[in-house]
Structure 1
Amino acid sequence: MAGRSCYTDVLPFMAMVTMECTNVGLNTLFKAATLRGMSYHVFVVYSYSVAALFLLPAPFISNRSRVLPPLNFSIMSKVLLLGLIGSSSQIMGYTGINFSSPTLASAISNLVPAFTFILAVIFRMESAALRSRSSQAKILGTIVSLAGAFVVTLYKGPPLVFPHQSPSISLHQPLLNPTTPTNSNWVLGGLLLTAEYILVPLWYIVQAQIMKEYPNELTVIFFYNVCVGVVAGVVALITEPNSSAWKLRPNVALVSILCSVRN
């Protein structure tokens, strides 16, 4: 019994640590790809399009294995809303990494629990009793998280490593006009990343509502990927009219797209 209890306690923790490490690796790959000319708008389109192709058989297989309610207009409209939230958060997030660094993205990602708690209280999914120790801990954790996010966003300290020769490509190098002040880029990137992680808990809330009405994860995620791919495609066609931006080569850009297919 003790071993099983330890297993159930340690497994979620290990899963969260693994997920965080995966996100750091994916953000670093994305940064490396954009530094080699990959457009982040095109990246989102390809990433979600590939994910949709992988999940294409899901609606047909899952409908045979269980009895599900019909995909009516109400459910599909909520999936479309989920896609709009997801595409907005992804574009903001990758733009924020483009302006700053994967390090800042990983630091600000810790705001997700804080924003989730705030939105849960706003939507009355959770109550905040000031006299309850549990609520006090959540409120204190939210304040500390927000304060830490402001610190890492507004303050960029000196580099810890001073190389003798500056490398040709640095993951802390923003893909912007070199005349633009670096500090303002860093702050703007932090604000965009913060906006992304405000939308993430909202995405969870909408997804939870959809799953109550249509309890089929693979089908919902398939249509979600399609919606994000379409929305991001429209945005990318406007922002990246040059056909050369859409060309994929067998380099880190292709690897980052394939590795980002995790939905």
Structure 2
Amino acid sequence: MSMESLLPFLGMVMAILAQAANMVVNKAAMSKGTNKYIMVVYANGLSTLILLPPALFFHHRSGRPPLTFSILCRFFMLALFGGSAQIFGFVGIEYSSATLGTAMLNLIPAFTFILAIIFRMEKVQWRSSSSNAKILGTIASITGAFVVTFYKGQPIMLLPSSHPLNLFSSKSNWVLGGLFLAADSFFTSLWYILQASTLKKYPAVVVIVCFQCLFTTVQSALFTLIAVKDANAWELRLDMGLIAVLYTAIVSIVLRYTITTWCVRKAGALFCSMFKPLGIIFGVIMGAIFLGDPFYFGSLVGALIIVTGFYAVMWGKAREENLVEGGSRWESLGQNKAPLLQNNIQEKHNCTSILCK
């Protein structure tokens, strides 16, 4: 494996590891009493401060188009979808576990496919194997999500109850957590679709992320002021809550997004998507070691179904891209051959004329 192909591979492994670790860190912070809504506010606020200088620099140097009201509205909606996904995700792992959270992230391609059909960004061709693969993969992913949500089963990996960091509470509502995590994946899919169209109109990643973090900070702050009545909850101490905010802002939002964006540019979106199931493995290991979370049989079965559906959707997408690429090559080849054919005909005509003379 060359260094050019090795770096995106290592980058995506690091990005997925950072994402899984973020769920574990946030779960630990919430179990210690840190408010989930306040973490969203502080994390996005800190991310805004970190991204503001490079956003201003790149916007000034690159000569981007002006920030119109329409573009700002898109940024606002991106923040609304992204912030909602963060809140639903935090609530989901608070009620369930980080392992379930990483498993449910694999629903994103299925939800994105459904939304693309609804918004007429995707056409279903029933006789096409790629479309059928995406449809069956979507059904499998949603089925797997139902399994991990509504069927818990027996624990198949359980640390001793005396583990000092065993934070899994019997009061946690597994089903409700699974539904919130499904909502997280749904809003993330909406965010992906809107982000793709926004980048076409305003191709400045750092500026978009900076404004998104800014708007998410404002939106989540307004929501938190209504939802959280205790003023003391806003106080951050030198504990797990502060670590969670710093980790989410610096690693999960700024660094992970930067690494993922770089990997997408180097290796393509499909390559990066194939690493999503790694989050389940990382989530299980870190959840068991640092939180003492048990791993249930239902989670294993459901995760396997979700991953199968995930790869079916990705296979269908890859096949479509190959067909489109192949068609473009044939079209280009045909355009290149046409003048040559005309030249050959003209040369033969000239030769015939000379012989006739």
Please give the range of the TM-score, normalised by the shorter of the 2 chains. 0.7 to 0.9
Larger radius of gyration: 2
Q: Is 1:60–2:47 an aligned residue pair?
A: no
Residue 195 of structure 2: which of 172, 194, 207 is its match? 207
Residue 194 of structure 1: which of 182, 195, 202 is its match? 182
Q: CA deviation at 1:171?
A: 3.9
Q: Distance in 2 between matches of 1:250 and 1:7?
A: 41
Aligned to 2:32: 36
* Contact 1:42-1:246 within 8 A present in 2 as well: yes
TM-score between both structures, scaled by the size of structure 1: 0.88
Residue 97 of structure 1: which of 82, 93, 118 is its match? 93
Cα distance per residue 1:210-240 (max 9 Å; x no partner) = 2111111111111110100011101111122
Aligned to 1:149: 145
Aligned to 1:50: 46
Residue 220 of structure 1: which of 208, 215, 226 is its match? 208
Cα distance change on mapping 1:143 and 1:171 into 2, 3 Å: farther
Q: Is 1:71–2:59 an aligned residue pair?
A: no
RMSD: 2.0
Paired residue total: 251
Aligned to 2:331: none
TM-score between both structures, scaled by the size of structure 2: 0.66
Q: Is 1:126–2:122 an aligned residue pair?
A: yes
Amino acid at match of 2:98: P
Aligned to 1:172: 168
User: Match of 2:236, SS?
Assistant: coil
User: Match of 2:85, SS?
Assistant: helix
Amino acid at match of 1:219: V
Q: Distance in 2 between matches of 1:234 and 1:20?
A: 31
* Contact 1:102-1:171 within 8 A present in 2 as well: no
Cα distance per residue 1:23-55 (max 9 Å; x no partner) = 211100000000111000000001000000101
Aligned to 1:254: 242
* Contact 1:28-1:102 within 8 A present in 2 as well: yes
Q: Distance in 1 between matches of 2:43 and 2:107?
A: 24
User: Match of 2:156, SS?
Assistant: coil
Q: Distance in 1 between matches of 2:198 and 2:45?
A: 22
Q: Distance in 1 between matches of 2:93 and 2:119?
A: 30
Q: Distance in 2 between matches of 1:218 and 1:99?
A: 33
Amino acid at match of 1:65: R
Q: Is 1:111–2:107 an aligned residue pair?
A: yes
Gaps of 5+ in 2: 255-357
Cα distance per residue 1:188-229 (max 9 Å; x no partner) = 110111011011111011112221111111111111101000
Q: CA deviation at 1:164?
A: 5.1
* Contact 1:35-1:169 within 8 A present in 2 as well: no
Amino acid at match of 1:249: R
Q: CA deviation at 1:170?
A: 2.8
Residue 244 of structure 1: which of 229, 232, 249 is its match? 232
Q: CA deviation at 1:64?
A: 2.4
Cα distance change on mapping 1:114 and 1:164 into 2, 3 Å: closer
Cα distance change on mapping 1:30 and 1:200 into 2, 3 Å: same
* Contact 1:114-1:145 within 8 A present in 2 as well: yes
Q: Is 1:160–2:169 an aligned residue pair?
A: no
Q: Distance in 2 between matches of 1:123 and 1:16?
A: 29
Q: Distance in 2 between matches of 1:170 and 1:164?
A: 9
Gaps of 5+ in 1: none
Q: CA deviation at 1:161?
A: 4.5
Following TM superposition, the consecutive aligned residue runs of length 4 or more in structure 1 with deviations greater than 6 angstroms are none
Q: Distance in 2 between matches of 1:16 and 1:109?
A: 15
Q: Distance in 2 between matches of 1:45 and 1:82?
A: 16
Q: CA deviation at 1:162?
A: 5.0
Q: Distance in 2 between matches of 1:12 and 1:205?
A: 23
Q: CA deviation at 1:12?
A: 5.0
